[in-house]
Structure 1
Amino acid sequence: MIRSGAMKYEDKPIWFNVYKAFPPKVNPTFTRKAPENQQVVNILYPEDLVRAKYYAVYGSKKSQEVVDLTEKETPTQCQRFVDKYFELKRSGRVSDEDLFRQAANYMRTQGFKLESEVEKKEQKELHNMAQEMFPS
């Protein structure tokens, strides 16, 4: 588009200079076939597994925490949980379940409200039972 004059050189896309400095080894074309038997490298880190379990247990749909993405210095509640988990893991040999429970208990003592999906469901059922027993 620049060569044809449809676009001015000053209006070039942001990636243009990168592409010019680091051209691909093989020119990208629509008809080129994807390589077969290419394995995808597993890039899961240990903290990813803890983070996944955290969200599976405590959920993220109705999280009370609002995350300010512009604030990079303040860790999220989940990141604090992960940090505490690995701090506890370094301190001794404990099962993953116990580490998870200990990290959750620590977070609760620090004022964070952690309530598993099961606990939320039980609380809702108790509330409904109380409503039925004592209608207002």
Structure 2
Amino acid sequence: MASSRLERIGTIYTRVEGLLIRGAMKPDDRPVWFDVYRAFPPIVEPKFAKPKPEIKPIRQILYKEDTIRAKFHANGQGFGAVNMLNPAGETHTKKLIQQYEKLKSEGVPESELIEKSVSAIGLERQQEAPKAVPKNPDSVTSHVLADADLKNIFKK
């Protein structure tokens, strides 16, 4: 059976506009999108006969740091949360990569690079961890919190 090829002639907008002008469609029955399309027409009119864009393969972009990052994260060494509001601070992964490069330039064997850089950054991270300062140092809560050992809290 032969089918109609009218969808290839004009756009849906021009066909609805033709129906409205000729009275085949009442103005109250026009689609919701029609007035929006009329007010904000697209830059390039969508046509059926428009040629498809050429699909180009996506080039793989890998940096030397990506392999180091992959090694850290494969072993579960990558650190999670990053403060995006502090643009001056470096991420822990960036610090790990810098430490890795520093140790590599010093001649540390490849098998020990990741472990040593993780331990060095771990020590640095523990030293820079902020201590909670209570508002009222004489309160009972501040004394309890000062004596609390969070690492061993569930061992009892």
Q: TM-score, normalised by structure 1?
A: 0.48
Task: Using CA pairs under 8 Å that are at least 6 residues apart, name the structure with larger relative contact order, 1 or 2.
Answer: 1
Q: TM-score, normalised by structure 2?
A: 0.43
The structure with the larger Rg is 2
